[in-house]
Chain A
């Protein structure tokens, strides 16, 4: 304690400024101290005692802090009760231990922050802050400072206490999280208070508390997630959610947090599913926390998938069954259930729920299936499970008729088309190619195969009709007229925004002050159809182009329908059948929401031959207008797509005038747009299509007709839902370069005894051109051998003719036979009439494909052979193989067989690189020689996939004898190619398939160790081992000759 009372009120002025200041400071000091004592005197005794005690302990750390404390005590004592005063002092002392200035500031700001805090809470506050001090002084002081604000926003003493308690609890484990918690508190408590039922708030806090007790820091994450989780729920559901989450806390904070989030989603969209879902989760939880968490995390996607269904009520009925199914599977195998759950969204787009259940039952009942196989089954990875899904039930799968329909459409139109299912899981497909028609993966409308096929036929005929009757025509005279007319009809602003379409340049007419659409010619200047513009350009002119698109779709279908009927008498039967069926299935017009009704009417009039009676009854006026429009534009035999566009414009205006406000249409627009962006964002990493990109199966057959018109349907690459859905984070796919084409192939998994669909991706790549010198050097080196090879092979050419005797007819007499004949005649014996000789052609009809393993194992060098002094020491195997190819090419050129040289390497199943050094129909040019020179080694050997691709290419050749010669230095290997046995089995399967297609495989290898395996794969006479690698080049032509004679 300082005692310096003498100069307290000395008014003597000092001589200099500094002195002045010093004296002032001291004066203040003294004053404060005086005030201190005075102030102290005013306090009740208890307070004083505590204060003195506290200041003593503070002084132990810092005198100044202690002084500050004393200064603040009187004011603080107004606010704080004695024990609080002590705590406050203690807090400050602790602060001082790390940061004196902070402590001084702390005391300096007084205890006013605590004013608003109810008494009961104060102890908690101190506890909290003390704990937070372990992190940093500033954290604690900030918390302290934020108290008033907190008090204000949480207007409820009880709640405040609870919040603080939870924060204190959390702070036991993590100061940071407790701060986060407090920061979020206002927002969260507000959202909880929205519920009229108080127990929600209480529940929320109880939950937070339980989280804090159980799981520490994660409590603040859960807390922050609360508002979103309970948003949009009613009180009862909110409570359910909270209780459930609490229950799952037993399984860990992480699990519970996900449950909170996903559960909220479910309750919002499909509350009736909640119970089932929770049950399911508990069953899954039996299999371990990892499964549980994985499950919960897949739930949002599942929900989204369901919500994307246009027919919500349908989705609502289907989902419980899916959950029930999953439960059943989950009792047996958690991972399988997860796979099933994940694929359910995708699957249900293509098959009915009954089929799905059937398929699942089958998967379950197959007892000999072991866990890994079962999981693959339910993930729909294998060919077997895929087939089981599609052929199991009723309905006609597209696969059965795909080729047929393709030919059909090609026949009708004369154009090459591809038919793709709406969800594609291909076995071999090009990525990013051609003109395709999309048809539903299965049709089950009639439950009769014949009739279902006729629906397919009608859909295909419609698609053909679009091609034949010019839906996609570009830049025609009529289109231009339509464009101009429609451009003129709509806002100049729209025209402005569509500047992009005026490719020919235009004069800005708007300066003249007139509206642009005062005359068609002026409009023509401002916006013109680009030279290759089509119907899509015109549709973009409409303000609500999505709406226009839908109208256009239906109208165009109507036009095509009419043209088809006129052109193809026979098809009328099928069209009528479908029309009848559709008519019978229409909903009642009054059951439809007001904004859907116009489309239904349009559909009926355009495609169903006229409005149904109830439609006509309720919407007489609209029906009659629509009928007039249709009659005017679409009935003429020469109606073109431009006419449809004009009709679209009329109908568009009509719809705008009859719907209550533009709101309904806007609603439609924004809904669609929202769904677009939502889905895009959330499904960025998935290969599932969002609703806008694809129109999946509907119970409403009408949608089948509109698949071609989906807004984002243009230029979409084919999807690989099967393979990619599985590969979450496996070997990453390398991007394709320009001009490269990739193909998908199955792979055989011996454990599953089934194929994995579309598992491997083979990329046809260009060979880097090397030096020509390699080939030249080789030829130089093997000069002698080459000339003898040439000679030998030329002898093998088909110009050879042999003489055959004893024929019934021929060019020449066989003298011996004639003599015999005469003698026999004289002797009256049996006379043979086979007196002639013929010359028969010996034909050669061979195509051969060489497949060279280019993996890094070929980089191995072979030592110098003592008997071959002209070879360099230490040549790589790949070099030797290349030499062999050069010699082989010489031989093949000499004999004239059709041949192709290919190499392959692989880097994981999605990056199998297939190099075409020489294609079948290429000539052996300089370019080819350079390519041979450029062959190099890298990566691994995924032999199965390479063989499959080589087989595919070879089958396209028409020769009678087709050979696939594999040049390998050893065993197949790749990093995700299983163990050695797996790789071998897959290779064997590929070879078997090749043989089934009429190709003879043959293996030439230098690996002596692999004899047994080779015999296994290729058969006794299907391989040859070259012991001395260096002799490979010279032996190769000899082997070939033996094979093909």
Chain B
């Protein structure tokens, strides 16, 4: 895995983020207190954007890891690689973040195997250390280092769940789709459209979210609303944009798709 210079991870411009509650203050407080944070919420409601925003705010580099089934401890911590005649140690993203006092963001942490996730335990208690077993060293985290993880409590299967021993190390901030007025503002700004259209999109989103559990696993995320808005701003007719961004992606079930389309044509 090639390393990028840590500087490349800095967030240069302010990412747009509209605070819904007191999450900004909470995060800052956690950072000062050197507490790890877990962001809980459905997909596409602004968690990643929030982390970016906070990284910019706190002026720390941000290293993101997208977690998945096959993610191993080695992937996180680092490995020796054969290069030419030598074996060279390469830092994993976690190690890199610790070393440089950056914010390490593990996105969708439940997707990773449990035996991988326990790697982070030493970092999340008062010791704040990362043992690198292969090298036989231990890395101490500087005060600026912060561990942030996110996950979606929506689809809970018994197999994929955070163990209590992991959960209880974090401070949790709950995320959800913003309330309609705020969501309208976000969609309008990010999507580049007028408020009226944004309001319509948000209304559609609200209705489709009602179907959650009645056929849909998850409702329409704010992200998808923004996609739709972006398409509209580029001249795509609203109904098509809604179809493409809000109807097809979330389900393959024909009936469900059709009923969402009918909802779309009811609103716009």
Contact = CB atoms under 8 A, between A and B. Distances in A.
Interface of A: 403-408, 410-414, 416, 457, 461, 568-571, 573-574, 798, 810-811, 838, 841, 843
A407 B266 contact: no
A466 to B, nearest CB: 15
Given A569-B200, A569-B268, A570-B264, A411 B259 contact: yes
B200 A412 contact: no
A811 B74 contact: yes
B42 to A, nearest CB: 16
B210 A412 contact: yes
A571 B266 CA distance: 4
Contact of B262 (A457, A573, A798, A811): A457
B210 A411 contact: yes
Contact of A461 (B70, B113, B159, B266): B266
Contact of A410 (B74, B211, B258): B211
A405 B268 contact: no
Given A407-B255, A574-B266, A841-B113, 12 more contacts: A404-B255, A407-B214, A410-B214, A411-B260, A413-B210, A457-B266, A568-B267, A569-B267, A570-B264, A571-B265, A811-B74, A838-B70
Nearest to B263: A411
A412 B258 contact: no
A411 B203 CA distance: 11
B132 interface: no
A270 B94 CA distance: 89
Contacts of B259: 404-408, 411
B117 interface: no
19 contacts: A404-B259, A405-B259, A407-B214, A407-B259, A408-B262, A410-B214, A411-B207, A411-B208, A411-B260, A414-B210, A457-B262, A568-B266, A569-B267, A571-B266, A571-B267, A574-B266, A798-B159, A810-B72, A841-B113
Contact of B265 (A413, A570, A841): A570
B73 interface: yes
Contacts of B211: 407, 410-411
Nearest to A898: B158
Interface in B216-268: 255-256, 258-260, 262-268
B265 A407 contact: no
A866 B164 CA distance: 54
Contacts of B264: 570
A403 B159 CA distance: 32
A409 to B, nearest CB: 9
Complex A-B, nearest 10 residue pairs according to Cβ-Cβ distance, in ascending order: A407-B259, A414-B210, A571-B266, A408-B259, A411-B207, A568-B266, A570-B265, A570-B268, A411-B211, A570-B266
Interface string B15-27: 0000000000000
A464 to B, nearest CB: 9
Nearest to A457: B262
Nearest to A412: B207
Nearest to B69: A841
A910 B268 CA distance: 49
A570 B267 contact: yes
B215 interface: yes
A961 to B, nearest CB: 15
Category for how many chain B residues contact A: 20 to 34
A798 B267 CA distance: 48
A841 B215 CA distance: 30
A811 B210 contact: no
Given A412-B210, A811-B73, A811-B74, A407 B267 contact: no
A719 B73 CA distance: 61
Contacts of A573: 265
A284 to B, nearest CB: 45
Pick the most buried of B73, B74, B113, B263: most chain A CB atoms within 10 A of its CB: B263
B263 A410 contact: no
A165 B214 CA distance: 78
A416 B267 contact: no
A411 B246 CA distance: 14
Contacts of B258: 404
A284 B263 CA distance: 54
A571 B208 CA distance: 16
A398 B258 CA distance: 15
A412 B266 contact: yes
A811 B200 CA distance: 50
Nearest to B157: A958
A410 B256 CA distance: 11
B255 A403 contact: yes
Pick the most buried of A411, A413, A843: most chain B CB atoms within 10 A of its CB: A411
Contacts of A412: 207, 210, 263, 266
A574 B262 CA distance: 11
Contacts of A405: 259
Interface string B52-79: 0000000000000000001011100000
A280 B98 CA distance: 95
Contacts of B72: 810-811, 838
A619 B259 CA distance: 43
A416 B214 CA distance: 8
A411 B216 CA distance: 10
Contacts of A811: 72-74
Contacts of B207: 411-412
A416 B211 CA distance: 9
Pick the most buried of B70, B210, B259, B264: most chain A CB atoms within 10 A of its CB: B259
A461 B260 CA distance: 13
A339 to B, nearest CB: 34
Contacts of A411: 207-208, 210-211, 214, 259-260, 263
A408 B256 CA distance: 9
A412 B266 CA distance: 9
Contacts of A407: 211, 214-215, 255-256, 259-260
Contacts of B255: 403-404, 407
Nearest to A464: B266
A461 B262 CA distance: 10
A406 B72 CA distance: 45
Nearest to B260: A411
Contacts of A404: 255, 258-259, 262
A60 B247 CA distance: 110
Nearest to A844: B159
Interface in B72-98: 72-74
Contacts of B262: 404, 408, 457
B192 to A, nearest CB: 21
Nearest to A821: B82
A838 B69 CA distance: 12
A436 to B, nearest CB: 15
Contacts of A403: 255
Contacts of B208: 411
B101 to A, nearest CB: 28
A410 B210 contact: yes
B253 to A, nearest CB: 9
A840 B260 CA distance: 40
Contacts of B210: 410-414
A810 B159 CA distance: 22
B241 to A, nearest CB: 14
B236 to A, nearest CB: 17
B234 to A, nearest CB: 21
Contacts of A406: 259
Nearest to A822: B82
Contacts of B74: 811
Contacts of A810: 72
Nearest to A845: B159
Nearest to B219: A411
A338 B265 CA distance: 48
Nearest to A407: B259
A751 B268 CA distance: 53
A461 B266 CA distance: 9
A838 B115 CA distance: 13
A411 B259 CA distance: 8
Contacts of B268: 569-570
Contacts of A568: 266-267
A1008 to B, nearest CB: 41
